[in-house]
Amino acid sequence: MRCPFCGSEDSQVKDSRPTEDGSAIRRRRQCPACGARFTTFERVQLRELVILKKSGDKEVFERDKLARSIEIACRKRPIAPERIERLVSGIVRQMEAIGEAEIEAEVIGQAVMEGLKSLDAVAYVRFASVYRDFREAKDFEDFIGTIETVARAGAK
pLDDT in tens, 53-104: 999 999 999 999 999 999 999 999 999 999 999 999 999 989 988 888 899 9
SS3 at position 1:
coil
**Helix axis angle, 121-131 relative to 137-155, nearest 10°?**
130
Backbone angles phi, psi at 35, to 5 degrees: 80, 0
- Say whether pLDDT at 43 is over 70: yes
Is this structure's pTM higher than 0.85? no
Residue 43 and residue 24 in contact, taking contact as beta carbons nearer than 8 Å: yes
Q: Each residue of 101-131: pLDDT tens digit?
A: 899 999 999 999 999 999 999 999 999 999 9
Sheet containing 37-42: which strands, arranged edge to edge?
12-18, 25-30, 37-42
